[in-house]
């Protein structure tokens, strides 16, 4: 029995169809859906980009991308050839007149139309305008917008206003691929599908939450782009904030787009301003055979942070004494994304201190592998008296559901199919993005005005010493980056 839920036939246009994101994520994602049998027979994917090329040249490029970036490419020639039959190409100039009429003629009436903006954000407005004014988009068409969504509140508002000139909010899909991860959705299932957790999910029982997104890569060739952004804008305002919302939000009445997004918005609006001594910024230095940030930065004296750690407080009844510690950085010791929910110690130990045991902990792992476990305390087996150990209870689907379970879809493929289905639950609403910037802006202004330099940390380390100190002084410690 196939668990693949069919979707309606669609035309999907990928603006930036020759770009890095299209080749690494979007096209391989669509290919995996095709391989899984989810792509309708008449579905059409049209790459649209600046380069002049024939359909066959584009298909050859897509084939190469699949070979390089899809683990399913070994499926064989026939499957790839079948997928390529769905692929078309149209040269367009996002800022001019060329190609738009030809693109319009390729689109078919009466089926789902989606336009993926996989181009630099300064082109979003130009493309939105042309889609509308040249009759490519109708009232049911969807647009998918990539990050970054602005660089502060003002630019995000302007971008929202521009898109709103041509499209309804219900047509705009602001993508944050962290929300497409299976485990992130599993987190919601575990929180709201069981009676066990929700009664404990508050400051009375949860000591603190840690969210870590550690990367091993540096900024490399993206140095001058990254230099205008930094870890706060590039990672915290969007990805880490979204994860925080899913942990902290109240139960929505239904698992529906606006019900979920209303609750997330309330969390963002309840965030307290962050104190200057509760933010640690870092910048990596050459070490362990790796280069330093300034080797690639646009400005050799750049004070942009490649690492940030901060203590976040949510001013509401549920979380009034439970801090959320966030940390993300590049060139760290290991690639690791995880959320740790640390429960409080039992109020009294009947076994005595020496018996061991420790507080319960739920870990939600997003990278390098996805999974979830809950550490519980049990008796150490054997005759050694009442000694306690903690063991992980695995809450990961793959093992429990067995080898017949459908393979876990990648975040992008899942989200693209949600666009085709018209389901916005896992996409950010405009007001959420603005609220997140409204919280982020004053924090950034604090160091931009003061020209505060980030602390140096070694490439390949766990980040600056001060980030460890941020928890130590609260009597807590970070999960090790390993
Ligand atoms: P890229 O530079 O590799 O590709 C840019 C694409 O835009 C090319 O296909 C190019 O032909 C097209 N393009 C540029 N100017 C055009 C014009 N005037 N008319 C028509 N097409 C034009 O960029 P990318 O890395 O693929 O990133 C695309 C978007 O996705 C950006 O907004 C980026 O911030 C975002 N993003 C990228 C990644 C990633 O991993 N690459 C990750 C997250 C978000």
Please give the distance, rounded to the nearest whole angstrom, from the Cα atom of residue 185 to the centre of ligand 1.
28
Contact between 107 and 113 under an 8 Å Cβ cutoff? The reply is yes
What is the Cα–Cα distance from 339 to 243, expressed in whole angstroms?
Answer: 8
Residues 6+ apart with CB under 8 A from 240: 211, 213, 326, 328
The pLDDT of residue 398 is: 61
Q: Whose CA is nearest to atom 32 of ligand 1?
A: 120
Q: Whose CA is nearest to atom 1 of ligand 1?
A: 19
Instruction: Output the pLDDT for position 2.
Output: 56
Rounded to the nearest 5°, which phi and psi values hold at 114? -130, 140
Asked if the structure places residue 133 within a domain, the reply is yes
Radius of gyration of the chain (CA): 24
What's the CA-to-centroid distance between 169 and ligand 1, angstroms? 23
* Domain boundary pick from 103, 121, 146: 146
Specify whether 136 is located in the same domain as 191.
no
Question: Residues with Cβ < 8 Å from 127, sequence gap 6 or more?
Answer: 15, 94, 115, 117, 119
Per-residue pLDDT in tens (0 to 9) along the chain, 482 residues: 457 788 999 999 999 999 999 999 999 999 999 999 999 999 999 999 999 999 999 999 999 999 999 877 677 889 999 999 999 999 999 999 999 999 999 999 999 999 999 999 999 999 999 999 999 999 999 999 999 999 999 999 999 999 999 999 999 999 999 999 988 998 999 999 999 999 999 999 999 999 999 999 999 878 888 999 999 999 999 999 999 999 999 999 999 999 999 999 999 999 999 999 999 999 999 999 999 999 988 788 999 999 999 999 999 999 999 999 999 999 999 999 999 999 999 988 899 888 888 899 999 999 888 899 999 999 999 887 889 999 999 987 666 555 555 566 789 999 999 999 999 999 999 999 999 999 999 999 999 998 899 999 999 999 999 999 999 999 999 999 99
Q: Which of 417, 373, 408, 375 is nearest to 394 (CA)?
A: 373
Residue 158 counted as domain residue: no
Residue 71 shares a structural domain with residue 127: yes
148 CA: nearest ligand 1 atom: 34
**Residue 445 burial by CB count (10 A; 0-12/13-18/19+): exposed, middle or buried?**
exposed
Assess if residue 3 is contained within a domain. Answer: no
Per-residue model confidence (pLDDT) at position 181: 92
Question: Which residues are near ligand 1 (CB < 6 Å)?
Answer: 16-22, 49-51, 92-95, 118-121, 123, 146-148
Pair (114, 263) in one structural domain: no
Q: Which ranges of 249-369 would DSSP assign to H, the alpha helix?
A: 257-269
160 part of a folded domain: no
78-81, Cβ contacts within 8 angstroms, sequence gap of 24 or more = 79/34, 79/35, 80/31
Crossing angle of helices 182-193 and 241-248, in 10° steps, is 20
In a domain, 118, yes or no: yes
- C-alpha 321/C-alpha 307 separation (Å) is 26
Q: What span, in angstroms and rounded, lies between the C-alpha atoms of 179 and 110?
A: 30
CB atoms within 10 A of CB 455: 16
> 479 in a domain, yes or no?
no
Domain of residue 288 covers: 179-472
User: Would you say 280 and 455 are in contact if contact means Cβ atoms under 8 Å apart?
Assistant: yes
Active site residue 239: yes
Q: What is the pLDDT of residue 278?
A: 96
Q: 125, 146, 167 — which closes off a domain? A: 146
Domain CATH code at residue 40: 3.40.50.720
For residue 33, the model assigns a pLDDT of: 93
Question: Coil, strand, or helix at residue 7?
Answer: coil
Tell me the binding residues. 16-23, 50, 147, 177, 181, 215, 234, 330
Q: Are the beta carbons of 253 and 276 closer than 8 angstroms? A: no
Helices (H), 249-391: 257-269
421's tokens? 């289905």
95 CA: nearest ligand 1 atom: 18
- Per-residue confidence (pLDDT) for residue 178, from 0 to 100: 94
Residue ranges for the known binding site for substrate are 177, 181, 215, 234, 330
Q: Which helix (H) or strand (E) holds 374?
A: strand 371-379
Do both 109 and 189 map to the same domain? Answer: no
Binding site per annotation, positions for NADP(+): 16-23, 50, 147
- Write down the H helix ranges in 249-393: 257-269
Q: What is the CATH number of the domain that holds 446?
A: 3.30.360.10
336 & 404 share domain: yes
Catalytic residue selected from 208, 239, 348, 472: 239
Of 100, 123, 146, which residue is a domain's last? 146
Q: How far is the CA of 119 from the centre of ligand 1 (A)?
A: 3
User: Given CA atoms 76, 18, 412, 255 in this order, what sign does their dihedral have?
Assistant: negative
Is residue 26 domain-shared with residue 130, that is, in the same domain? yes
- Is the Cβ–Cβ distance between 307 and 293 less than 8 Å? no
Query: Quick one: pLDDT at residue 450?
Result: 87
Is there a single domain that holds both residue 135 and residue 203?
no
Select from 422, 432, 399 the least CA-distant residue to 267.
432
Of 17, 18, 21, best ligand 1 pocket probe by most atoms within 8 Å of the beta carbon: 21
Q: Which atom of ligand 1 lies at the shortest distance from residue 17's CA? A: 9
Strand partners, 284: 457
Q: How far is it, in rounded angstroms, from Cα 193 to Cα 245?
A: 18
Euclidean distance between CA atoms 171 and 97, whole angstroms = 24
Residues 262 and 365 in one domain: yes
Nearest CA to ligand 1 atom 9: 16
Going from the Cα of 347 to the center of ligand 1, the distance in angstroms, rounded, reads: 54
Residues 288 and 403 in one domain: yes
Instruction: Give the H or E element holding residue 30.
Output: helix 27-35
Q: Please give the angle made by the CA atoms of 460, 461 and 462, to the nearest 5 degrees.
A: 130
C-beta of residue 81 within 8 angstroms of C-beta of residue 48: no
Name the pTM for this structure: 0.95
Tell me: do 225 and 120 sit in the same domain.
no
Instruction: Report the domain count for the chain.
Output: 2
All residues at 6 or more sequence positions from 378 whose CB lies less than 8 Å from its CB, including other chains: 388, 389, 390, 391
Compute the Cα dihedral for 5, 111, 179, 73 and give only its sign.
Answer: positive
DSSP annotation string for 157-220: HHHHHHHHHHS-GGGEEE--GGGG-HHHHHHHHHHHH-TTTGGG-STTTEEEEEEEEE-S---G
Burial label for 424, CB within 10 Å (0-12, 13-18, 19+), is buried
Q: Are 227 and 246 in contact, with CB atoms under 8 Å apart?
A: no
């Amino acid at each position: 029995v196939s668990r693949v839920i069919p979707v309606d036939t669609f035309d999907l246009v990928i603006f930036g169809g020759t770009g890095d994101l299209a080749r690494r994520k979007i096209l391989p994602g669509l290919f995996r859906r095709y391989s899984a049998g989810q792509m309708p027979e008449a579905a059409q994917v049209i790459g649209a980009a600046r380069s002049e090329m024939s359909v066959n040249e584009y298909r050859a490029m897509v084939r190469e991308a699949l070979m390089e970036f899809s683990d399913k490419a070994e499926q064989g020639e026939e499957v790839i050839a079948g997928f390529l039959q769905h692929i078309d190409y149209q040269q367009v100039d996002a800022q001019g007149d060329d190609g738009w009429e030809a693109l319009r003629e390729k689109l078919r009436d009466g089926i789902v139309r989606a336009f993926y903006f996989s181009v630099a954000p300064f082109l979003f407005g130009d493309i939105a305008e042309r889609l509308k004014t040249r009759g490519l988009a109708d009232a049911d068409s969807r647009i998918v917008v990539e990050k970054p969504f602005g660089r502060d509140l003002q630019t995000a508002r302007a971008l929202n206003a521009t898109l709103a000139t041509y499209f309804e909010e219900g047509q705009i899909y602001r993508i944050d691929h962290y929300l497409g991860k299976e485990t992130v959705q599993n987190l919601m299932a575990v929180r709201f599908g069981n009676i066990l957790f929700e009664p404990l999910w508050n400051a009375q029982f949860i000591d603190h939450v840690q969210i870590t997104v550690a990367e091993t890569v540096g900024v490399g060739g993206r140095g001058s782009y990254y230099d205008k952004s930094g870890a706060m804008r590039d990672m915290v305002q969007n990805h880490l904030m979204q994860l925080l919302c899913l942990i902290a939000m109240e139960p929505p009445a239904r698992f529906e787009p606006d019900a979920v997004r209303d609750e997330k918005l309330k969390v963002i609006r309840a965030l307290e301003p962050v104190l200057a001594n509760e933010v640690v910024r870092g910048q990596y230095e050459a070490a362990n055979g790796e280069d330093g940030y300034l080797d690639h930065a646009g400005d050799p004296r750049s004070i942009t942070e490649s690492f940030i750690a901060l203590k976040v407080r949510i001013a509401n009844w549920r979380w009034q004494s439970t801090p959320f510690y966030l940390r993300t950085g590049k060139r760290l010791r290991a690639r690791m994304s995880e959320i740790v929910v640390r429960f409080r110690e039992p109020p009294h130990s009947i076994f005595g201190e020496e018996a061991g045991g420790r507080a319960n902990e739920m870990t939600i792992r997003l990278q390098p592998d996805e999974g979830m476990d809950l550490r519980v305390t049990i008796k150490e087996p054997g005759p050694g008296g009442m000694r306690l150990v903690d063991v992980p209870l695995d809450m990961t689907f793959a093992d429990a559901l067995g080898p017949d379970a459908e393979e876990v879809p990648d975040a992008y493929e899942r989200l693209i199919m949600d666009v085709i289905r018209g389901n916005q639950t896992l996409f950010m609403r405009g007001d959420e993005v603005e609220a997140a910037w409204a919280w982020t802006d004053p924090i950034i202004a604090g160091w931009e005005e003061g020209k505060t330099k980030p602390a140096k940390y070694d490439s390949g380390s766990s980040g600056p010493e001060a980030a460890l100190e941020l928890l130590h002084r609260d009597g807590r410690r970070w999960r090790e980056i390993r």
